Homo-oligomer: A and B are copies of this chain.
């Protein structure tokens, strides 16, 4: 990492370098503009009105969110075009909240089943929210197969809901280090098949939405009209390992303090699973790396202890501050109430993680 850590932080702390962040936003906006593809970043990564404001300054108009609660936070923050890229179930409390949202912003929602569409109708969303049909392009998590997209869209339209387009998340781009390229191809091919399946039922759509940070460049081509990367704003160890970012493009780290060197061959830092999350893809060892300790790996986590293996190093002094580049930044951000924003090694601002905990 090129950027420096101010000594005044109280650890563990979520630290973001303002310059690297802005460079990341700029790069993505420029590339999507070149490809003539709309950029609708996933705000679940940053959950921050401050980061969203920077994205807007770089030409972003619509945002993607994962939950009704996140949509409410960004709507209250003045964002008027929100896509809940999730199979939303408009039951109980959420039915009312979605109706309120739809009355105040341009709202689009994911649907992958007729019952879910029926809940949207019952919530009174026909006519004031648009549906995006979720397509399974290979992750096999949610979404219908491309050939089933047309029949589902037809059933949704018959309920009186507007079908605006199709979308997918190529999560299988995270399955191996070599997966992103194939997953990006799957997005393009299978979203194309889904568009044809809709056309076969007489439904023409204007919006074909793909996206994840590792596949965003590989899939930004027709018929895709929109990309929804999230992690690109900060990047993380996983993105670097997948080839989606360079180390210099990592804008975020967890600052931690060495609290114990009592056990030989390791040091303990005060960032455990409650600061770093426990996400670990099968193709990465450990839970993060520590640049200050020669890229040593965080090999295991308790809730408030991170164990860093330092076989080759003399242990740093108890009290030393270090950074951890986490495996996966999204759940990490979700563990903190605020970002410590640095520029030129100085603390310049504190930003709230505005949508943290808005899970429902």
**This chain: how many copies in the complex?**
2
B318 touches A115 (CB 8 A): yes
B263 touches A141 (CB 8 A): yes
- Distance between Cα atoms of A307 and B142 in the complex (Å): 9
A278 at the interface (CB under 8 A from B): yes
A335 at the interface (CB under 8 A from B): yes
A94 at the interface (CB under 8 A from B): yes
Which of these, B11, B92, B261, B279, contacts A273 with CB under 8 Å? B279
Please name the residue on chain B nearest to A353 by beta carbon: B357
Residues in B neighbouring A225, C-beta threshold 8 A: none
B319 touches A303 (CB 8 A): no
Q: Contact flags (1/0) for A331-344 with B, using CB distance below 8 Å?
A: 10011110000000
A87 at the interface (CB under 8 A from B): yes
Looking at the assembled complex, report how far the CB atom of A161 sits from the nearest CB atom of chain B, in whole angstroms.
Answer: 16
A contacts with B: majority SS: loop
B319 touches A91 (CB 8 A): yes
Q: Contact flags (1/0) for A89-128 with B, using CB distance below 8 Å?
A: 1011110000000000000000011011001000000000
B94 touches A10 (CB 8 A): yes
Looking at the assembled complex, report how far the CB atom of A303 sits from the nearest CB atom of chain B, in whole angstroms.
Answer: 6
B330 touches A303 (CB 8 A): yes
Which of these, B140, B274, B302, contacts A334 with CB under 8 Å? B274
- Distance between Cα atoms of A126 and B91 in the complex (Å): 57
Residues in B neighbouring A273, C-beta threshold 8 A: 277, 279, 331
Please name the residue on chain B nearest to A7 by beta carbon: B92
A277 touches B278 (CB 8 A): yes
Looking at the assembled complex, report how far the CB atom of A123 sits from the nearest CB atom of chain B, in whole angstroms.
Answer: 12
A189 at the interface (CB under 8 A from B): no
Residues in B neighbouring A88, C-beta threshold 8 A: 259
Given A87-B268, A278-B279, A279-B273, are A143 and B262 neighbors across the interface (CB < 8 Å)?
Answer: yes
Looking at the assembled complex, report how far the CB atom of A7 sits from the nearest CB atom of chain B, in whole angstroms.
Answer: 8
Give the 5 A-B CB pairs with smallest separation, nearest first. A142-B260, A278-B278, A115-B318, A10-B360, A10-B93
Listed in ascending order, the chain A residues whose CB lies under 8 Å from chain B are 7-13, 44, 66-67, 86-89, 91-94, 112-113, 115-116, 119, 134, 136, 140-144, 171, 257-263, 268, 270, 273-275, 277-280, 302-305, 307, 317-319, 330-331, 334-337, 356-357, 359-360
Apart from A119-B319, A273-B279, A273-B331, what are 13 other A-B pairs with CB-CB below 8 Å? A8-B92, A10-B92, A13-B360, A87-B259, A113-B262, A116-B259, A116-B318, A116-B319, A141-B302, A171-B302, A270-B360, A275-B359, A336-B357
